[in-house]
Structures are given as C-alpha cells and as structure tokens.
Amino acid sequence: MSVLPAAAGLDQLPGAFAPRLIAWQRQHGRHGLPWQHTRDPYRVWLSEVMLQQTQVSTVLTYFDRFLHRFPDVQSLADAPADAVMSLWAGLGYYSRARNLHRCAQVVVKDHGGVFPSTAAQLQNLPGIGASTAAAIAAFCHGERVSIVDGNVRRVLARLLAFDQDLAQVASQRELWALAQGLLPQSPTPADMSAYTQGLMDLGATVCRRSQPLCERCPVQSLCQARASGAVTQFPVKSSRVKRRSESWWLLMLQSPSPAQGGMDFWLERRPAPGIWAGLFCPPVLRSEAELQQRVPAQAWQAAQHLPAVAHSLTHRELRLHPVVVCVDRSLVADFLAPGEWVTPDELATLGLPAPVRSLYQQLAS
C-alpha cells in the first residue's frame, strides 16, 4: 500500500499556494495561445466566452476566424445577428453568441466602446458572469480577483478537500470566498496574469477531471485531497445533469435549382427560445408519421432515409433521423411553415447547427 505524504496545514495555503502556482505557470504553463499576452479586453472576453464548455483545440480556429471578421467591439456591435450566428455555428451553446452580440452593442452604446475595468462593473454586462468578469479584470487590469470556472472549482475543491455540494449556489459562493483568500499578496499585474493563467492551466493540463497528474503538480504538498487519498471524490456535486432522449425527424427537402443547375434546399429559422434558436435548419418533426404527413404522397415514395445521427446537448440526447425528399418547389408553401430555398453557395454562409451542416455536406459529396 502506498503511503501518501501529509499535506501542509490549511493555514499555510494562503502564503504558499500563489507563489508556487505563479512560478509553475511561468515555467511550465501554456504560453502560445492566441488570446494570451494581450491586455485587450475584447480579445480576453471573446476567448473566455468561447472557452466556456468548449475545448481549447476547438476554440483556436473559431477565435481566429471571429477576430478576422470582427477585429474589435465596434465591428461586432455593427454586424447583423445572422453574420455572428453564422460564424459561431458549430461551437454550440448558441445563447453565448446572442449574448456576445448584445454585450458588444451595450459596450458601444453605454460605454463608448470601452469595456468597464473592474470585475464588479463587468458583471453588469449581458452574458458576463463572475468568472469571465474576473478573467478580464485580472488579465487586462491586474485586479486582485479570482476566476472560478468549472476547471478552477475542481482544482480548488481538491486542494482544500472542499466537501460542500457544488451543485448548490451557496457552496459555489463559499468556494469563491476561499479562492479570494488564496490570491497572491500585493501582486503586480504580471503576477495576477500568471496566477490566473496558472489556475486555468493547472485545471486543464494537470488536475484533470479523471486521472489527475498529481506527481507533476506544483502544489501537491499542499493538496488536502491528495493527502487523504481521495482525489477523485472531489469536487462533490450531487445533481449531475440528466439528459433526456428525443428523436427529431429532419425533413431535408430539395428541389432542382433554377439558378445554379444543382439542388436548392429548404430551410427554416429555428424559433427562439429553444434548441438551436436563430439558426437555419430543415423542418423538424417529432415522428416519421408526422413527417410523412407533410410530404406529397408521390414525393414520399422516393424519399431517402439517411442513417440516424446522435447529437448530445447539455440537457438532451438528440437522435436525428434525416429524410431527403425531392419536391416541386411550387408545392412547398402549401404544406410547410415559413422558410426559404437556399442555393448550395448560400448554405455555406448561413448559420447551421454543426450536425445539420455535416448532413448537407454528406449530401453534396
């Protein structure tokens, strides 16, 4: 049986944690990400919003494309909502894109295009929560305030062997107060930047959800969970999200294109609020029978059923059943809700949910 080293007492943590984390980040942390080494709140904000619930490797492409199209808050505020949604398509959690757009408009209209400088003020903006506000304030203005995103909660819950249920808002607040107590004493802006990045890096690369790399951890001798041999029991979270399963039947109508010679596709805009709100999608029906009722009998005979696709959302497990039907476009208005025919070129520029886009790509290949 391995014998774990005793951890330093909790009273030693406030003085010891931050210096070790900062030194580790400077030597071993991540330094090449495109949103680092900047004090531009626009870039930090954009990266923080994109990184919520999304892997760094996925965000990298989106971040560059987004910045290329919208290099500053003014250009984002001026953009049509469709252009923003289209660039966001595939990143998921689309309310983030709507809030991003709204926030840019508020920054331009109410703050003269300049983000407020403190975490407290930043939290008043649409879509900016405590952790994003703290990241902007710490990275751009050196404010002494702690981020508390999911990765950081995991690190701190283990470090402190914090056994309160983090599904509860009161416990999250308590952990945040403890996080504030671990901040570096009298930090320079560069220290705050390294500390904040260090928390993120430690959570992403060392103190991972499963199989944490404790032997490489700069704070292992301070870690209460490691000393107790119960690392994976932290964080405590009672109500894990339970996903509901749903079947969606996608009516992928196509019709010979009078303009381009190929096929045009019928798309509707998804209603808001709801799943994929504001994005373009083929009509969604809840059963095959319901879908069949929407299609003229003659066209149904030639319908092509594509293989079902599984797609996970935060609260749902969707099973998508795509059915391709070729129709005479003059009939469509009679049996469908408002929508429009789009050419393959137009399709490429519209905001489509990622699984829907890949279905159309399959059709085209």
Give the residue numbers marked as catalytic: 48
H-only helix segments in 142-247: 150-159, 169-181, 189-201, 224-228
Which residue, 125 or 222, is less far from ligand SF4 as judged by CB? 222
CA dist list (Å): 347 to 61, 81, 88: 20, 16, 15
Which region, judged by CB under 6 A, interacts with ligand SF4, from 26-34, 140-148, 205-213, 309-317?
205-213
Please check whether residue 324 is in contact with residue 306, taking contact to mean a CB–CB distance below 8 angstroms: yes
Which region, judged by CB under 6 A, interacts with ligand SF4, from 120-128, 171-179, 217-225, 289-297?
217-225
Could you tell me the smallest distance in angstroms from the CB atom of residue 56 to ligand SF4?
18
Which region, judged by CB under 6 A, interacts with ligand SF4, from 120-128, 154-162, 308-316, 326-334?
154-162
Task: Check residue 155 for interaction with ligand SF4 (CB under 6 A).
Answer: yes
Cα gap 336→350, rounded to integer Å? 20
H-only helix segments in 239-328: 288-293, 297-301
Q: Is 128 exposed, middle or buried (0-12, 13-18, 19+ CB in 10 A)?
A: buried
Which residue, 171 or 224, is less far from ligand SF4 as judged by CB? 224
Binder among 128, 160, 178, 207 for ligand SF4 (CB under 6 A):
207
Per rule CB under 6 A, count of chain residues that contact ligand SF4: 14
**CA contacts within 13 A on the Cβ side of 167:** 6
DSSP category for residue 310 = E
Task: Check residue 219 for interaction with ligand SF4 (CB under 6 A).
Answer: yes
Q: Under DSSP, is residue 134 helix (H, G, I), strand (E, B) or coil?
A: helix
Binder among 158, 269, 270, 321 for ligand SF4 (CB under 6 A):
158
Task: Check residue 231 for interaction with ligand SF4 (CB under 6 A).
Answer: yes
Task: Check residue 236 for interaction with ligand SF4 (CB under 6 A).
Answer: no
Q: What is the binding site for ligand SF4 (CB under 6 A)?
A: 155, 158-159, 206-207, 212, 214, 217, 219-220, 223, 225-226, 231
